[in-house]
Amino acid sequence: MGLDFTVVLRNLDYLLWGRLTDGELGGLLLTVVMAVSAGILSLALGIALAMVAWRCQASRKLLFLWAELIRGIPLIFVIFWLYFLVPALFGGGIPNALSVILALAWFSSAAIMHSVLAGLQSLPRSQYEAGIASGLAEHQVLCWILLPQALRNLIPSFVGLFASLIKDTSLAFIVNVPELTTVASQVNNRTQLFPTEIFLSIAAMYFVLCGVLSLAARAVCGPSSR
Amino acid sequence: MAFEFRYLTAAIALVIGLTGAAHADQLADIRKAGVLRAAVFDSNPPFGLVDEKTHNLVGYDIDFAKAFADKIGVKLELVPTNPANRIPLLTSGKADLIVADITITPERATVIDFSTPYFVTGQQFLVPTGSPDKLDGYATARIGAVKGTTGEQALKTRFPQARVLSYDDVPLALASLRNGTVQAITQDSEILAGLLAAAPDKSKYKLLPELLSKEEIGIGVKKNETALLAEVNKILVSLEQDGQAGQIFDRWFGKGSKAPETRNFKITAQ
């Protein structure tokens, strides 16, 4: 069976940016936008929660329980619920893509929190003690001495989490948000004859996206990073 | 997985349905907002699909959705959906109407209201050209069906005297029709029409217009929105009377389409 990739070329603009010319983001571009937004949100939330957990023992149990709760639910359910619940709670004005971004961010923030906390705890105790001894307050030690070192060590772990996040955006197809997987199945169901060609190309696009991320991270960190 | 989702969907629909405030009149809300939100398929040709050139949603359902918005005098907003999300979209208030090839069933009718049917499909018979035109002519025949389909069930109910031979897929059933093992095969009309269109020896067979079992497709409306339901029904009947409904059918199922079909129904008031 010969493969005929002309179907991908014919629909390439739709697969890459959807209905952008009509003001509606879609395709690979929407996948990137969703992954980046969810990545930034979850990074901010995860680091903030890790700082709280590090400073306040009492909150730690509660935060761990919360993280456990998130881990125990399949992401696709969270996406599904937020799709119907966010508009029900805040009115219908929230774009569907945003509800999926929130689901992804919420989900990833638990993993980031655990990573960052582990990163902080793995630093030598002397770093903390030296900071306190030089007269810094505890929060200053955390922000200026511990976090910068921990985050640098955690970059490889973040790259892994972010690659998962990119691939997890494909779950948005369950609520018809027109990201890469959704538009690909739209094209496939219209043409019906070229599923292999279409989905192989989509897989290649995800692979390239994740590969670029890894290369970029390596370039940023330099060969010294573990 | 699909099954669990259905339960989940139903549970969410129920929760949201219970907590959601009962609107006084959704039709008035639509007029006030100036927007009609219709849940439609984006991946189910020819009912709803994304056009290759314009990238817009097009299809049989989308044409009806446009007609509703036109007649009510508001803008149309299409909410793309898959089959499982149709009813929750309606009950959660994300859509005003389901215009997505939804079959009217008693089970679904307990959760949402349905308009009068605007599309009728069902199981048809594919037979050799020289065979009888009436379904009853096959009451004692050997008939091929596809395993586990509603057609297989319907045959056994309607023609208990017939010998039903079940096949794994339609092309295999067609092969049996070719070599004379069965005198007819049955399947959804769209599938048979597509099969016939692709067959190299299509002139040797014909589709019987009579349906073995009937599936009626309606517009889904939130429960107890009587004004909106009445308006939808009124518009459907008027579309039939001024010929627009027929034109929409011809556009997607007529002679120029991939698998042409005969329109053997009319939209009528309930």
CATH topology identical between B2-119+215-253 and B122-208:
yes
Write down the domain spans for chain B.
2-119+215-253, 122-208
Chain A positions touching B82 (Cβ under 8 A) are 174, 176
B49 vs A10, A175, A190: nearest CB: A190
DSSP H helical ranges for B183-225: 189-198
User: Does A199 reach chain B within 8 Å, measured CB to CB?
Assistant: no
Amino acid in position B94 = K
Q: Which residue of A has its CA nearest to B78?
A: A176
Whole-angstrom distance, CA of residue A91 vs CA of residue B152: 46
d(CA B81, CA A109): 29
Tell if the CB–CB gap between B80 and A22 is shorter than 8 Å: no
Q: What is the mean pLDDT of residues B55-65?
A: 96
Does B256 or B19 have the greater pLDDT score?
Answer: B256
Other Cβ atoms closer than 10 A to A9? 12
Query: Which superfamily does CATH assign the domain made up of A26-180 to?
Result: MetI-like (1.10.3720.10)
pLDDT tens-digit series, residues B184-217:
999 888 778 877 887 778 899 999 988 888 888 9
Q: Confidence class of residue B262 from pLDDT cuts 50, 70 and 90?
A: confident
pLDDT given for residue B2 in this prediction:
43
Indicate whether A25 pLDDT > 80: yes
ipTM of predicted assembly, 2 dp:
0.83
Does residue A181 belong to the interface with chain B, where contact is any CB pair within 8 Å?
no
Tokens standing for residue B246: 């027929």
Query: Among the CATH numbers 3.30.300.130, 2.60.260.20, 3.90.1580.10, 3.40.190.10, which is that of B2-119+215-253?
Result: 3.40.190.10
B49 touches A: beta carbon within 8 Å: yes
Q: What is the largest CA-CA distance in chain A?
A: 73
3-state secondary structure of B257: coil
Q: Are the beta carbons of A172 and A179 closer than 8 angstroms?
A: yes
- pTM value is 0.79
A86/A94 Cα distance (integer angstroms): 8
Looking at the predicted structure, is the pLDDT value of residue B21 above 50?
Answer: no
Q: Is the pLDDT at B15 greater than 70, yes or no? A: no
Tokens standing for B212? 């073995």
Q: Under an 8 A CB cutoff, do B80 and A178 touch?
A: yes
The structure tokens listed for A47 are 């680091």
Going through B82-177 in order, the beta strands assigned E by DSSP cover 97-103, 112-114, 119-128, 142-146, 163-167
User: With respect to CATH, is domain B122-208 assigned 1.10.10.10?
Assistant: no
Residues of A in contact with B45 (CB under 8 A): 189-190
For residues A108-115, average pLDDT: 94
What is the per-residue DSSP string for A136-158? --HHHIIIIIIHHHHHHHHHHHH
User: Contact, A113 vs A50, CB < 8 A?
Assistant: yes
The shortest CB-CB distance from B88 to any of A84, A182, A185 is to A84
Per-residue pLDDT band for A226 (boundaries 50, 70, 90) equals: very low
Three-class secondary structure of residue B167 per DSSP: strand
B69-126: per-residue pLDDT in tens? 999 999 999 999 988 899 999 988 899 999 998 988 888 999 999 999 999 888 899 9
